[in-house]
Amino acid sequence: MENLLIWLIIAGVMLVAEIVSLGLTTIWFAGGAVVAAVCSCFNLGWIPQVIIFSVVSLALLFLMRPLAEKKLMKDTIKTNVESLVGAKAIVTEDIDNLNAKGTVKVNGLEWTARSADDTAIAAGTTVTIRAIEGVKLMVTAENREE
């Protein structure tokens, strides 16, 4: 009975750790602890319980975690700056890398922009955002996409 209590405490600690971290890591060890707790009810020795805990926990971690992440993350939408890469923007001030000038408007906001291929881009041109370097958008003109 003592081992049962120990495994249930371990499972509880792992559940709390998962709730705090939300990393989909310690939840699998909680599952291993529950299986070990069940095994302790059948009077298995301490060493077999630890082995069962380890095997079940690692199996859950390596087999179930990728599936759970895929299922939970399928509707994840990129936020903030990440979502801008690949988006279209309109040049509001001529982009000239040599003179460090240029702005674009994307999603209603103005950003400093530079040409990703070092070509000048005139105001009014539609561009594609290729990357973000610091607070500058690196863009290419629509007719220059590769």
The CA-atom distances, in angstroms, between 108 and each of 10, 88, 89, 92, 142 are 51, 12, 10, 12, 19
pLDDT digits (tens, 9 = 90+) for 59-92: 999 999 888 888 877 666 555 677 788 899 999 9
Per-residue confidence (pLDDT) for residue 146, from 0 to 100: 43
CATH of domain 80-144: 2.40.50.140
pLDDT digits (tens, 9 = 90+) for 15-56: 999 999 888 889 999 999 999 999 999 988 999 999 999 999
- Of 17, 65, 60, the residue nearest 9 (C-alpha): 17
Per-residue confidence (pLDDT) for residue 129, from 0 to 100: 93
Per-residue confidence (pLDDT) for residue 117, from 0 to 100: 92
Per-residue confidence (pLDDT) for residue 23, from 0 to 100: 82
Per-residue confidence (pLDDT) for residue 134, from 0 to 100: 83
Residue spans of the domains in the chain: they are 2-73, 80-144
pLDDT digits (tens, 9 = 90+) for 96-127: 999 999 999 998 889 999 999 989 999 999 99
Per-residue confidence (pLDDT) for residue 59, from 0 to 100: 96
